[in-house]
């Protein structure tokens, strides 16, 4: 009321607290309101693999970062302007990412000697002057929440638990966020628990009023809606977009979707989502293990369904043999790999792009599999449709390589018109396709379409097309078992030629200055940071071109030509140089890899520094 | 995909009927059978091919799915749809097919290595799930295709190339395993007994849900004579219990029978001593699997004495695929399937 409002073009907020503090929910709610307010945004949830790591410890810290702006942005931001730290562990785990001058809102109630010792603070950072260069807002969030909830029939513990809503209320006030959506959300969530509902709404409102009345915050901020292409928007996370993309593809292909899957982080949400949509003919099957998940999906594909399996890197390792079988049987199948840190169990909740070579080569024998990779949360929708197109057109398993960052991140998504989605209808084989010398006809399961090299999809139940297929090498055409040397050579090359010949769109290059001599090439979820870094570089006077691969197998036909246009090609990847290896091997281009495996996306600023050095060297 | 047709076989009621009369020949594919001469698989193949016409199903709606091993070549020889898949995974692949295609009659062929070693997990889960699948497990107590290593059903101390001093692991009894895995239908038969094989296949086909049929099969190359005591005319009748629903459980020669001891366990007694009234009556439909389990434990894995043959258990539990279809139908009845509505969700904003 009457406080001064300062206009900002963008803000980065990080909510951090204990795993049990509800930081992901708080972040999600702030994001939803921000999305509906019309800002462009990008989010980065970052949480531990343990469901409840020991309370108050650094490993137990769960964080959610949100970047929102009045203009087009592509990353969750490098350095937060505001840190909300619900306890000393959250402060300690995040302070190194916070630039001096930033606002830090801390819950002082948690800064007890015991909690401080637990995370190795010898003195209280709120009192020892170590935070002098930040704008610290010490607020007893817990006790103020409990105070505000007096009179509601709940336990003290339940009252304390509502402190995240107090924090959300305060931040919502600080950034002029609409409140209605949050109240509606709470009403739905706690419909069956009226006391808890009252507590959460009261805490949320108390947080808002606190902002209005306290002298600690003298200004309010406003970030105007972004200018975006006209249309209807919603906020969209990667896993949700991927699930919707699969449903849309199944509808457009007029093939029932069958998901065979085994729970694994960070892919399980796709299984959960698809399980809700049986009314779209979506069938979900939680199998006994990863192998059965893909096995059932392949069995369904054989029966004429759209077979899909979802997993992460360790699951792909288990599914490899079945993927090889699908290559040999030449049946459509989509394998979704939401990559996470590896090897082995690795970092289940952190992102990485280190399964590229596993997807490319991780099978016995010559077993080529097409690979499609989404570049952003919303893009998972289109990438899923593209994966289905390739699988059904070419009768092949296809990898859809998402990762933890795009899967859990979110952004505004322009809702597509259903009619604008590609027509993916397929033709099952219905009749004999070969005439024998005596004039009678028969069915050859491995007689190929001359254009796509795809074999017929002849589903059981089709009269006259009874045939047997298997993982043993098949004779070209008839599909009968063949151990013949020349036939094997031919079949291996045919399967390769089919994948090499898949038609994929050309690689587009973004070079607004038109005179760049350095190309930054990426794939998958690094699009956002690379894009932000290129824009940063250009603002600072470096001319740089950006190209981003959605298809990694086969590469777009113009890839060689694009690469040759530039003196230097930089390839940033969240692995140790897997795309760089492929590019060097395939195109004899001396690409410069830039690699990081920290379980987090690149920082745009850091990439801009790399670009600057390379541009300076040409 | 064809219309549902009501057939005599409840488990196959959704599978379309054949148009004309079929014969065994209709089920023979044009592929040359490549098992070793004398292999027990030939007898099983012939038995199955001559049984198939009895089902009266459209041939194109029958699918055979196998894993890896000698037995797993089976689908190549059946003139139906078929898939020779990978080691141990046939039940998983067949489950995906059977769940999505109730108009198909799906059969799995597997062996003791394929089903019980590498594919053990899929087998037990298929059984507990009770998808409408018929699983034929050819048990020859040896690895044939890889040339003679011991298998999970080989008797303890089995000397093979990989166990020159004898195998050290306790064998599985596939029937006991299946009963422990919540199977609704478990039976055992023998490759060389065509009549019994056919009866058992018929019972399996009639069963709604997963049916496991263990078939004692002779590998004449690497484990010849493994089941001979149960086959030769001199001994078989005194070694084999023939399980028949509603009948007292006795050896084929009638000399000994199964009775319940005072402590509740099953015991084998001379019929002349206890009298026929004391004999246990076989009840395949008993909900309680403990008698079936106790029967499965009677046989001696070394001498094969007291081996029960026939259907151990055949109980009714709604198959997974039927429950699955019910959920699909309920969901379809209960909500909109408009894609545009789904994509838009409930929280959108407009930019003009
Ligand atoms: S190795 Fe044994 S089981 Fe295999 S085909 Fe020969 S006889 Fe039959």
- The pLDDT tens digits for B236-261 are 999 999 999 999 999 999 999 999 99
Largest CA distance in chain B: 96
What are the structure tokens assigned to A252, written together? Answer: 């457009």
- Within A286-312, residue ranges assigned H as helices are 290-302
Ligand 1 pocket member B172 (CB < 6 A): no
Nearest residue CA, atom 8 of ligand 1? B39
CATH code for the domain of A316: 3.40.50.970
DSSP state of A56: T
- From CA A156, how far away is CA A143, in angstroms rounded? 10
* Yes or no, beta carbons of A280 and B339 under 8 Å apart: yes
Residue in chain A lying closest to B345 (CA)? A234
Asked whether the predicted pLDDT for residue B3 surpasses 70, the reply is: no
pLDDT at B6: 41
* A36 shares contact with chain B (CB less than 8 Å): yes
Interface contact A306, partner B, CB < 8 A? no
Cα diameter, chain A = 97
Domain-ending residue, one of A182, A201, A222: A222
In A321-391, the DSSP E strands lie at: 333-339, 371-372
Q: Residue B1: is its pLDDT beyond 60?
A: no
| Res. B5 pLDDT band, cuts 50 70 90 | very low
CA-CA distance, A394 to A448, in Å (whole number)?
10
- Smallest Cβ distance to B83: which of A288, A300, A469? A469
Cα–Cα distance, B348 to A232 (Å, whole number) = 7
Spans of chain A below 70 pLDDT: 1-2
A260 → chain B, closest CA residue: B96
Q: Could you report the per-residue pLDDT of B87-115, keeping only the tens digit for each?
A: 999 999 999 999 999 999 999 999 999 99
Cα atoms found within 13 Å of the Cα of residue A202, Cβ hemisphere only: 22
At B255 the pLDDT is: 97
Dist CA A20 CA A55 (whole Å): 8
Q: Which of B27, B246, B120 is nearest to A292 (CA)?
A: B120
What does the alpha-carbon distance between residue A420 and residue A423 come to, in Å, rounded to a whole number?
Answer: 9
Radius of gyration of chain B (CA): 22
Question: Which of A182, A236, A242, A288 to probe by mutation at the B interface, max B CB count within 10 Å?
Answer: A288
Mutate to test the interface with B, among A249, A289, A381, A470 (most CBs of B within 10 A): A470
DSSP string computed for A383-450: HHHHHHHHHHHHT-EEEEEEEHHHHH-EEEEEPPPGGGS---------S--EE-TTS-EE--TBPPPT
**Which of A:244-283 have CB within 8 Å of B?**
244, 247-248, 251, 256, 258, 260, 277-281, 283
CA B165, B166, B170, B172 dihedral sign is positive
In a domain, A328, yes or no: yes
Q: pTM here?
A: 0.93
What's the domain count of chain A?
4
Q: In terms of CA atoms, which chain B residue is nearest residue A303?
A: B97
Question: Cα–Cα distance between B196 and B227 in angstroms, integer?
Answer: 15
Residue B8 banded pLDDT, cuts 50, 70, 90:
low
Tell me which residue in A289, A415, A471 faces B85 most closely, judged by beta carbons: A471
Per-residue pLDDT tens over the stretch A526-585: 999 999 999 999 999 999 999 999 999 999 999 999 999 999 999 999 999 999 999 999
Query: Which residues of chain B make contact with A397, given a CB cutoff of 8 A?
Result: none
ipTM value for the complex: 0.96
Structural domain contains residue A227: no
The 10s digit of each residue's pLDDT in A200-254 is: 999 999 999 999 999 888 889 999 998 889 999 999 999 999 999 999 999 999 9
Residue ending a domain, among A189, A222, A255, is A222
* Contact criterion met (CB < 8 Å) for A287 and B103: no
Distance B252 CA to ligand 1 centre (A): 29
Q: Are residues A259 and A152 in the same domain?
A: no
Long-range pairs for A147-156 at CB < 8 Å and ≥24 separation? A148/A202, A148/A203, A148/A206, A149/A199, A149/A202, A149/A203, A152/A195, A152/A198, A152/A199, A152/A202, A153/A195, A154/A195, A154/A196, A154/A199
The answer on A186 and A101 residing in a single domain is yes
Question: Which numbered atom of ligand 1 lies nearest the CA of B69?
Answer: 4
Residues of chain B with Cβ-Cβ distance to A225 below 8 Å are 351
- Separation of CA B116 and ligand 1 centre (Å): 18
Tell me the three state secondary structure of residue A347.
strand
Are A416 and A478 members of one domain?
A: no
Q: Are residues A412 and A489 in the same domain?
A: no
Domain that holds residue A436: 427-503
Residue numbers of A between 98 and 117 with CB closer than 8 Å to B: none
Q: Is B144 in the pocket of ligand 1 (CB under 6 A)?
A: yes
Distance B142 CA to ligand 1 centre (A): 9
Residue contact B60–A464, C-beta within 8 A: yes
CB contact under 8 A, B100 and A228: no
- Domain boundary (A471, A503, A535) is at A503
- A228/B351 touch (CB, cutoff 8 Å), yes or no: yes
If asked whether residues A363 and A489 sit together in one domain, one would say no
Residues of chain B positioned with their CB less than 8 A from the CB of A72? none
Is the CB of B33 within 6 Å of ligand 1? no
Are the beta carbons of B99 and A285 separated by less than 8 Å? yes
Identify the helix (H) or strand (E) that includes residue B105: strand B105-111
Our CA-based measurement puts residue B302 at a distance from the nearest CA of chain A, in whole angstroms, of 33
Q: How does the average pLDDT of chain B come out, rounded?
A: 95
Answer for the pair A596, A576: CB distance below 8 angstroms, yes or no. Answer: no
Question: Of A278, A298, A468, which is closest to B331 when you measure between CB atoms?
Answer: A278
What letter would DSSP give residue A14? E
pLDDT, tens digit, 9 for 90 and up, residues A290-313 = 999 999 999 999 999 999 999 999
Answer yes or no: is A358 within a domain: yes
Question: If you search the block for the tokens 């001696």, which residue do you land on?
Answer: B300
Is the CB–ligand 1 distance for residue B220 below 6 Å? yes
The enclosing domain of A558 has a CATH number of: 3.40.50.920
In a domain, A229, yes or no: no
* Cβ contacts of A277 on chain B, cutoff 8 Å: 342
Query: How far away is chain A from the Cα of B95, in angstroms, using its nearest Cα?
Result: 6
Q: Where are the alpha helices (DSSP H) in A254-348?
A: 268-275, 290-302, 313-329
Indicate if ligand 1 lies below 6 Å from the C-beta of B137. no
Residue A228 lies in a domain: no
Look at residues B76, B136, B92, B45 and name the one whose alpha carbon lies nearest to residue B84.
B76
**B74 CB within 6 A, ligand 1:** no
Q: Do B101 and A304 touch (CB under 8 A)?
A: yes
C-beta atoms of A322 and B328 within 8 A = no
According to the model, what pLDDT value does residue B350 have?
A: 87
Mutate to test the interface with A, among B2, B35, B96, B181 (most CBs of A within 10 A): B96
CA atoms of A262 and B156, how far apart (whole Å): 36
Instruction: For B118-150, write each residue's pLDDT tens digit.
Output: 999 999 999 999 999 999 999 999 999 999 999
Q: Clarify whether residues A157 and A257 are in a common domain.
A: no
The model's pLDDT over A471-499, given as tens digits with 9 standing for 90+, comes to 999 999 999 999 999 999 999 999 999 99
Which atom of ligand 1 sits closest to the CA of residue B71?
3
**Atom 3, ligand 1: which residue's CA is nearest?**
B219
Residues A189 and A262 in one domain: no
Are A608 and A473 within one domain?
Answer: no
In A427-446, the residues whose Cβ lies within 8 Å of chain B are: none
**Same-domain status, A239 and A214:** no
What is residue A2's predicted lDDT score, i.e. its pLDDT? 63
Q: Are B258 and B268 in contact (CB under 8 A)?
A: yes
CA distance B326 to A334: 26
Does residue A10 sit in the same domain as residue A103?
A: yes
Mutate to test the pocket of ligand 1, among B32, B33, B34, B36 (most ligand atoms within 8 A of CB): B36
Contact A230 B352 (CB under 8 A): yes
* Token pair 């190929």 in the structure block, residue: A448
**What pLDDT is recorded for position A50?**
83
**Phi-psi map region of A298: left, alpha, beta (phi>0 left; psi -120 to 50 alpha):** alpha
Residue B227 · residue B239 · CB < 8 Å: no
- Give the residue on B whose Cα is nearest the Cα of A463: B60
Nearest to A468 among B84, B101, B337 (CB): B84
Q: Are residues A18 and A167 in the same domain?
A: yes
Residue A469 lies in a domain: yes
Residue bearing the CA closest to ligand 1, atom 1: B144
In a domain, residue A491? The reply is yes
Of A38, A260, A480, the CB nearest to B349: A38
Rounded CA separation A90/A101 (Å): 18
B215 CA distance to ligand 1 centroid (A)? 14
Alpha helices by DSSP H, B8-102: 40-55, 90-100
Chain B contact present for A309, CB below 8 A:
no
Query: Is residue A198 assigned to a domain?
Result: yes
**Cβ distance of B342 and A247 shorter than 8 Å:** yes
**Contacts B75 to A, Cβ<8 Å:** 468, 470
Task: Mark whether A394 and A342 lie in a shared domain.
Answer: yes
Q: Is the pLDDT of residue B7 over 60?
A: no
Cβ of residue A311 closer than 8 Å to a chain B Cβ: no
């Amino acid at each position: 009321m009457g406080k001064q409002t300062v206009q900002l073009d963008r803000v980065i907020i990080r909510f951090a607290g204990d795993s049990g503090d509800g930081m992901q929910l708080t972040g999600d709610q702030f994001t939803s309101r921000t999305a509906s307010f019309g800002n462009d945004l990008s989010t980065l949830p970052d949480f531990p693999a343990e469901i409840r790591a020991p309370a108050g410890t650094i490993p137990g810290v769960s964080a959610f970062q949100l970047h929102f702006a009045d203009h087009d942005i592509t990353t969750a931001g490098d350095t937060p302007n505001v840190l909300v730290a619900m306890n000393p562990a959250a402060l300690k785990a995040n302070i190194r990412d916070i630039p001096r001058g930033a606002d830090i809102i801390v819950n002082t109630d948690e800064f007890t000697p015991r909690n401080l010792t637990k995370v190795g603070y010898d003195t209280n950072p709120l009192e020892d002057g170590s935070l002098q260069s930040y704008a610290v807002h010490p607020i007893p969030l817990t006790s103020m929440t409990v105070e505000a909830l007096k009179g509601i029939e709940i336990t003290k513990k339940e009252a304390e638990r509502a402190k995240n809503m107090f924090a959300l209320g305060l931040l919502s006030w600080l950034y002029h966020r609409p409140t209605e959506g949050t109240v509606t959300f709470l009403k739905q969530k706690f419909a069956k628990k009226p006391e808890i509902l009252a507590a959460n709404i009261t805490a949320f409102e108390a947080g808002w009023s606190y902002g209005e009345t306290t002298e600690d915050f003298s200004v309010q901020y406003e970030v105007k809606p972004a200018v975006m292409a006209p249309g209807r928007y919603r906020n969209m996370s990667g896993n949700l977009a991927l699930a919707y993309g699969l449903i849309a593809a199944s509808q457009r292909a007029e093939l029932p979707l069958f998901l065979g899957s085994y729970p694994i982080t960070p892919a399980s949400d796709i299984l959960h989502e698809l399980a809700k949509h049986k009314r779209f003919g979506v069938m979900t099957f939680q199998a006994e293990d990863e192998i059965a998940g893909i096995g059932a999906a392949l069995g369904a594909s054989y029966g004429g369904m759209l077979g899909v399996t979802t997993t992460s890197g360790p699951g792909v390792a288990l599914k490899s043999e079945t993927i090889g079988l699908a290559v040999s049987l030449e049946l459509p199948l989509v394998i979704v790999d939401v990559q996470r840190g590896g090897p082995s169990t690795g970092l289940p909740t952190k992102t990485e792009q280190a399964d590229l070579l596993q997807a490319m080569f991780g099978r016995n024998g010559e077993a080529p599999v097409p690979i499609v990779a989404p570049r952003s949360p919303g893009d998972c929708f289109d990438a899923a449709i593209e994966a289905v197109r390739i699988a059904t057109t070419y009768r092949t398993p296809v990898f859809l390589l998402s990762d933890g960052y795009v899967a859990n991140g979110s952004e505004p998504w322009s809702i597509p018109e259903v009619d604008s989605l590609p027509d993916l209808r397929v033709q099952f084989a219905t009749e004999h396709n070969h005439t024998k010398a005596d004039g009678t006809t028969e069915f050859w399961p491995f007689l190929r379409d001359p254009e796509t090299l795809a074999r017929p999809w002849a589903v059981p139940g089709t009269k006259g097309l009874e045939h047997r297929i298997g993982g043993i090498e098949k004779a070209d055409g008839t599909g009968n078992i063949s151990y013949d040397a020349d036939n094997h050579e031919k079949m291996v090359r045919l399967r390769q030629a089919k994948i090499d010949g898949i038609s994929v769109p050309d690689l587009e290059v973004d070079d607004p200055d038109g005179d760049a001599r350095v190309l930054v090439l990426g794939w998958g979820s690094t699009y956002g940071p690379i894009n932000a870094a290129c824009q940063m570089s250009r603002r600072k006077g470096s001319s740089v071109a950006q190209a981003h691969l959605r298809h990694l197998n086969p590469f777009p036909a113009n890839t060689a030509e694009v690469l040759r246009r530039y003196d230097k090609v930089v390839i940033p990847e969240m692995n140790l140089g897997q795309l760089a290896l492929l590019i060097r091997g395939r195109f004899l281009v001396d690409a410069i890899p830039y690699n990081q495996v920290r379980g987090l996306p690149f920082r745009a600023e850091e990439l801009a520094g790399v670009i600057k050095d390379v541009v300076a060297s040409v | 995909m064809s219309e549902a047709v009501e057939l005599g076989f409840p488990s196959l009621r959704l599978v379309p009927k054949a148009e004309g009369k079929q014969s065994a020949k209709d089920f023979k594919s044009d592929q040359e059978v490549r098992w070793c001469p004398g292999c027990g698989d030939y007898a099983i193949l012939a038995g199955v091919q001559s049984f198939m016409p009895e089902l009266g199903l459209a041939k194109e709606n029958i699918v055979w799915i196998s894993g890896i091993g000698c037995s797993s070549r089976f689908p190549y020889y059946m003139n139906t749809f078929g898939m020779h898949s990978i080691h141990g995974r046939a039940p998983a692949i067949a489950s995906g097919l059977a769940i999505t295609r109730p108009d198909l009659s799906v059969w799995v062929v597997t062996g003791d290595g394929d089903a019980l070693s590498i594919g053990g997990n899929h087998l037990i889960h298929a059984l507990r799930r009770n998808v409408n699948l018929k699983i034929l497990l050819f048990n020859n107590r040896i690895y044939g295709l890889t040339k003679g290593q011991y298998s999970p059903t080989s008797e303890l101390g089995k000397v093979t190339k990989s166990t020159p001093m004898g195998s050290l692991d306790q064998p599985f009894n596939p029937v006991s395993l299946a009963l422990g895995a919540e199977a609704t239908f478990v039976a055992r038969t023998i490759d060389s007994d065509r009549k019994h094989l056919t009866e058992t296949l018929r019972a399996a086909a009639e069963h709604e849900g997963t049916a496991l049929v263990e078939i004692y099969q002779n590998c004449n190359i690497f484990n010849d004579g493994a089941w001979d005591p149960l086959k030769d005319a001199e001994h078989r009748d005194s070694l084999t219990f023939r399980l028949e629903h509603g009948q007292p459980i006795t050896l084929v020669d009638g000399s000994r029978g199964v009775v319940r001891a005072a402590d509740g366990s099953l015991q084998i007694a001379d019929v002349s001593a206890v009298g026929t009234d004391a004999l246990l009556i076989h009840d395949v439909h008993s909900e309680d699997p403990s008698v079936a389990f106790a029967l499965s434990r009677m046989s001696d894995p070394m001498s094969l004495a007291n081996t029960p043959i026939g259907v151990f258990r055949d109980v009714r539990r709604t198959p997974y695929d039927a429950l699955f279809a019910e959920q699909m139908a309920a969901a379809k009845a209960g909500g909109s399937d408009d894609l545009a509505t789904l994509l838009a969700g409930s929280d959108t904003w407009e930019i003009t």
